[in-house]
């Protein structure tokens, strides 16, 4: 059994869709970081290669740090990147509503569909599961975490989007080689 401890990076305070933009996290909430460190097991840590995830992973002061992994990045929002829902909706209401209401093969212009995100992140996770580690801490993003929650629970993308994943929260999943188990979701230690 491998337990995955999916941690969402620290807050960016951006009020837009932040996907592959490499903006920093605000890690000034030391008490929250200490609680997170105390809650997580002593296990290897891997993160997305975006600086908000890298800095959060480093702040956990891991004993074993795996190389950053671009496959664990957030959704590539393409032309919607760093824009608000309202801004995009004013230009293309049909596509943006379909993207969030019927996640699947619909993609932002020059971005990636929900199904593409799921394939990318699941491929990376499968590689880590194949290593047979008992525990692995993964510092990633809202979308990346939801892909694995969808997978573990066997729910639709729309249902996955209904889950809240706060910054510095932990979502715990287990995989025994045959089936998934779901522990805490969006736990704030």
Closest CA to 4 of 145, 141, 157: 145
Q: What is the pLDDT of residues 42-72, one digit of tens each?
A: 999 999 999 999 999 999 988 899 999 999 9
Percent share of the chain, pLDDT over 70: 100
pLDDT greater than 90 at residue 97: yes
Mean pLDDT of the chain: 97
Using CA atoms, how far apart are residues 94 and 76, in angstroms rounded to an integer? 19
For the entire predicted model, the pTM comes to 0.96
From residue 52, alpha-carbon distances to 45, 48, 119, 122 in Å are: 15, 9, 22, 21
Q: What is the pLDDT of residue 32?
A: 97
Catalogue all structural domains in the chain, each as residue range(s) with its CATH number. 2-182 (3.40.50.1240)
Q: Which tens digit of pLDDT belongs to each residue from 138-187?
A: 999 999 999 999 999 999 999 999 999 999 999 999 999 999 999 999 99
Which residues on neighbouring strands pair with residue 5, listed in sequence order? 137, 172
CA quadruple 181, 170, 111, 130: dihedral positive or negative? Answer: negative
Distance in angstroms (rounded) separating the CA atoms of residues 143 and 118: 9
User: How far is the CA of 28 from the CAs of 13, 23, 134, in angstroms?
Assistant: 12, 15, 31
**pLDDT value for 62:** 87
Q: Are the C-beta atoms of 55 and 43 separated by less than 8 Å? A: no
What is the distance between the alpha carbons of residues 67 and 86, in angstroms, rounded to a whole number?
37
Please tell me the distance from the alpha carbon of residue 7 to that of residue 56, in angstroms, as a whole number.
9
pLDDT band at 87 (very low <50, low <70, confident <90, very high): very high
What DSSP character marks residue 81?
A: T
């Amino acid at each position: 059994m491998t337990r995955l401890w999916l941690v969402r990076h620290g807050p960016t305070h951006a009020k837009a869709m932040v996907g592959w933009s490499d903006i920093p996290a605000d890690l000034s909430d030391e008490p929250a970081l200490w609680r997170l460190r105390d809650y997580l097991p002593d296990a290897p840590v891997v993160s997305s290669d975006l600086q908000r995830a890298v800095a959060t992973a480093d702040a956990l002061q891991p004993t074993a740090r795996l190389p950053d992994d671009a496959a664990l990045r957030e959704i590539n929002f393409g032309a919607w990147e760093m824009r608000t829902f309202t801004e995009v909706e004013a230009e293309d209401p049909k596509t943006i509503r379909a993207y969030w209401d019927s996640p699947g093969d619909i993609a932002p212009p020059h971005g990636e569909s929900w199904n593409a995100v799921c394939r990318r992140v699941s491929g990376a996770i499968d590689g880590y599961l194949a290593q047979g580690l008992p525990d692995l801490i993964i510092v990633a993003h809202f979308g990346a975490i939801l892909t694995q929650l969808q997978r573990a629970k066997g729910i639709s993308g729309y249902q996955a989007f209904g889950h809240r994943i706060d910054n510095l929260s932990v979502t715990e999943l287990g995989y025994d080689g045959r089936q998934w188990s779901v522990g805490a979701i969006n736990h704030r230690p």
